[in-house]
């Protein structure tokens, strides 16, 4: 199976297995999505979804969040890890959204990535899932699968993102990144991975 055939098989298999791709992080608007994605750094989506109801009950918009004491935010989000840094970022970015963007989440990569605690991957998730702008957020799981499937030889997520954007049509990016995440969790984990039991690896990794 050459690379073109591999890409076609991967796309077809993912579409068959995951025709619908619900957003894993529970949210109600671009702001709550932004906060949930920020919290998900080095934390599972499942845990974030357990924490955000309490946080958003406290404040679910930039104006209300900007008025909260950082220590209160930190106490709520502690189970997500990195709480000192994340609570500061949530407080600061909320104030910036109020002061600079009229309480709205900006809709450009440049503006999003200028916010505290918001890197390229977080901005990509918000742009794709909140605003429908084609993006290909690459986390460590997508990076791992892309390497396993021979789609990239990139040493980092930046190179992997560039390779995946080159290999797959732009109109598929937003759905595809979620399909790969779902597939990795169900069939292609980092550990205890059995290639013969994986619908993709069992075919494309055959010698």
pLDDT class of 154 with cuts at 50, 70, 90: confident
On whether the CB atoms of residues 109 and 120 are closer than 8 A, the answer is yes
* Ordered structural domains, the chain, with CATH: 3-21+136-204 (1.10.1670.10), 30-129 (1.10.340.30)
Q: 3-state class of 79 per DSSP?
A: helix
Mean pLDDT of 122-149: 94
User: Does residue 207 surpass a pLDDT of 60?
Assistant: no
CA angle 106, 133, 155 (to 5 degrees): 100
Q: How many alpha carbons fall within 13 Å on the CB side of residue 153?
A: 0
Residue of higher predicted confidence among 155 and 99: 99
- What is the three-state SS of 127-188? HHHCCCCCCCCCCHHHHHHHHHCCCCCCCCHHHHHHHHHHHCCHHHHHHHHHHHHHHHHHCC
Please state the pTM of the whole predicted model: 0.91
Mean pLDDT of 135-140: 92
Structure tokens at 74: 């930190």
Tell me what pLDDT residue 67 has. Answer: 97
Active site residues: 121, 139
**191 sits in which H/E element:** none
């Amino acid at each position: 199976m050459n690379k073109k055939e591999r890409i076609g098989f991967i796309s077809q298999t993912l579409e068959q297995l995951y025709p619908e791709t619900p957003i894993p992080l529970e949210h109600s608007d671009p702001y709550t999505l932004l906060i949930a994605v920020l919290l998900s750094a080095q934390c599972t989506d499942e845990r974030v979804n357990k924490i955000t109801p309490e946080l958003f009950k406290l404040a679910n918009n930039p104006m209300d969040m900007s008025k909260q004491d950082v220590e209160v935010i930190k106490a709520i989000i502690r189970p997500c890890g990195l709480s000192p840094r994340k609570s500061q970022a949530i407080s600061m970015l909320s104030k910036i959204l109020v002061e600079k963007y009229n309480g709205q989440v900006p809709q450009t990569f440049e503006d999003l990535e200028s916010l505290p605690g918001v890197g390229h991957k977080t901005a990509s998730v918000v742009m794709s899932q909140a605003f429908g702008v084609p993006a290909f957020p690459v986390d460590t799981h997508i990076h791992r699968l892309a390497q396993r499937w021979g789609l990239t030889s990139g040493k980092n997520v930046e190179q992997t993102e560039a390779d995946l954007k080159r290999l797959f049509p732009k109109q598929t990016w937003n759905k595809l990144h979620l399909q790969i995440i779902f597939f990795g969790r169900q069939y292609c984990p980092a550990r205890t991975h059995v290639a013969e039991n994986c619908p993709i690896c069992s075919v494309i990794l055959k010698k």
